[in-house]
Amino acid sequence: MAAGLGGGSSDAAAVLRGLNELWDLHWPLARLAQVGLAVDSDVPYCVYSQTALVQGRGDQVTPLNQRPDCWVILAKPSISVSTASILRAIDYTRPMPRPDTAKVVEGVKSGDFELMTAGMANSLEAVTAARHPEILALQQRLLRYGAAVAQMSGSGPTVFGLCRKRSRAHRIYNSMKGFCREVYLVRPLQ
């Protein structure tokens, strides 16, 4: 809970998909996503359950039918973060880091891991990390141990690192376990 990984949104999406099947509605994903938008802006993406470009208020989901093969190391510090409190703390008069969405999408579409990671950024990272410096410490460790990119997920506090090769990801995972109680090594399925 409160890890910045979209657990509540994915649970809501699973309920929508399950009810669609249970009640034999045969609604397309687009309609389920529209219903899910009333719950939270992340639910439509979770309804599709695949790599996608999400725009607008979360209501414009464009599936991207592939992505570069990679491994993910997740490290969650022993704190919880309220998304609402982070959103209230944003100072809209100051510039915020922005992802280069075109670069990320092109990297995803072409299977170019380096291009994809070169465009990644999280606009909320500085806001959350100012309140919880352990986020930056985990991020720096992931990079120091060899992750190609490391950043906070969602509104935090979980930090992830990406690697092309399983062997490197496994070494990073083992190294991180000494500094963070909750560390996971996963490989995206879609």
- 95 preceded by cis ω (within 30°)? no
Q: What is the pTM of this model?
A: 0.91
pLDDT by residue (tens digit) across 100-158?
Answer: 999 999 999 999 999 999 999 999 999 999 999 999 999 999 999 999 999 999 999 99
Q: What are the sequence ranges of the domains in the chain?
A: 7-63, 71-186
Tokens at 182, concatenated: 């909750």
Report the range of poorest mean pLDDT among 12-16, 64-68, 170-174: 64-68
Q: Looking at the predicted structure, is the pLDDT value of residue 12 above 90?
A: yes
- Residue whose entry in the numeric block shows the structure tokens 């990406």: 162
Count of CB atoms situated within 10 Å of the CB of 63: 14
Contact 16, 42 (CB under 8 A): no
The C-alpha atoms of residue 48 and residue 151 are separated, in whole angstroms, by 24
Q: So what's the architecture of 71-186 in CATH?
A: 2-Layer Sandwich (3.30)
Residue 102's alpha-carbon distances to 17, 98, 107, in angstroms, are 30, 11, 8
| First vs last C-alpha separation in the chain | 24
